[in-house]
Amino acid sequence: MGKSKEILGIDVGGSGIKGAIVDVSNGELLTERLRVDTPQPATPKAMTSAFKDLLDKFNYKGDVIGVGFPAIVRRGVALSAANIHEDWIGTSISKLWGKASKKKVYALNDADAAGMSSVSFGRAKKEDGVVIFLTIGTGIGSAMFVDGTLVPNTELGHFYMPNGVKSEHHASSKTRKENDLSWEEWAARFDEVLAQVERLFSPDLILLGGGASKKFDLYSHLLHTEAKVLPSALMNEAGTVGAALYAYQRAKK
C-alpha cells in the first residue's frame, strides 16, 4: 500500500468539495479537478453522500485518499465545526469516508493541506524559519511551518481581535462579501489581522491562499507587515495537492 505516487486528493470547502488525482512526486495534477457542491446543512450524512458522488467521477484505482477538511483534525477525527454542521465534532472522517470508499482515508485540516503543498512544491519550498500560510475564503484557515515542519491545527481564524470579533469574522472573504466591503476596506481589516499574527509569531514569511489571494495586486500595497507577504503560487489546487501528499506520506509510514 502507498507505493503508487498517484494519489486522489480531496479538498473539502464551505461551498464545494474538489478532487483530483495528483502525482505526489512533483505536485502536478494528473486529472482535471472535479467538484461537487458542499450540501447545506453540511451534516456527516449529506457530506458523505457528496463525497461518494465525487469519487464516482474518478476511475481511481489507488488504495489511499487524502482529505483536507475545514476543521481541527486530530488522528482523522474532526474536533471543530465552524463552517460545517456541528454533528461533525467527534466524527472520524477517516473511518466514515474510509468505509464509504473502501479505501484508506487520511484526513487533515484543509489549510494545513494547502500549506503543505506550498512548502513542498510552491513558494515556500526553500524557506526555513517560521512560515505562516493563511487561506482566505468562507473562513480564515492557517498552517504554520517551522523549518518546513508543520505545526498542525493552528486555527488562526479563531483568535479574538482587540474589538472582540474573531479574526475570520473580521476579515474573511465571506465577511467582505456580506458587508459589501471595498478591497480597501477589507484590506484595512486584514492588515489588522496580520498585525496580530505578526505580534504573536514573528513569522519570516506569510503566504496567502484562497479566493482573495488571487486579487493580491489590488491590496498588497495596503498591508504593513514586517514579514514578506506573498500570494501562494499554487492557488486553487493547493489543498487538493497537499491532501494527496499527506496521504502518501502517512501511508508510507
For ligand BGC, give the closer residue by CB, 109 or 120: 109
Report the C-alpha gap between 166 and 156 in whole angstroms: 9
CB contact set of 232 (below 8 Å; sequence gap of 6+): 114, 118, 122, 123, 133, 207, 208, 209, 213, 238
Q: Are 7 and 22 in contact (CB under 8 A)?
A: yes
Of residues 170 through 209, those in contact with ligand BGC by CB under 6 A are none
Q: Are 27 and 234 in contact (CB under 8 A)?
A: yes
CB 110, min distance to ligand BGC, A: 5
Coil, helix or strand at residue 89: coil
Cis status, amide bond into 203, omega within 30 of 0:
no
Coil, helix or strand at residue 28: strand
Of residues 101 through 160, those in contact with ligand BGC by CB under 6 A are 109-111, 135, 137, 139, 141, 155, 157-158
- Rule CB under 6 A: choose which of 38, 48, 83, 240 binds ligand BGC: 83
Q: How many residues bind ligand BGC (CB under 6 A)?
A: 17
CB 238, min distance to ligand BGC, A: 12
- Rule CB under 6 A: choose which of 34, 36, 54, 82 binds ligand BGC: 82
For ligand BGC, give the closer residue by CB, 111 or 229: 111
CB contact set of 236 (below 8 Å; sequence gap of 6+): 18, 33
* Strands 16-23, 34-37: pairing kind: antiparallel
Of residues 53 through 72, those in contact with ligand BGC by CB under 6 A are 70-72
For ligand BGC, give the closer residue by CB, 20 or 136: 136
For ligand BGC, give the closer residue by CB, 50 or 103: 50
Does 38 sit near ligand BGC (CB under 6 A)? no
Does 80 sit near ligand BGC (CB under 6 A)? yes
- β-partners of residue 161 are none
Q: Which residues bind ligand BGC (CB under 6 A)?
A: 70-72, 80, 82-83, 109-111, 135, 137, 139, 141, 155, 157-158, 168
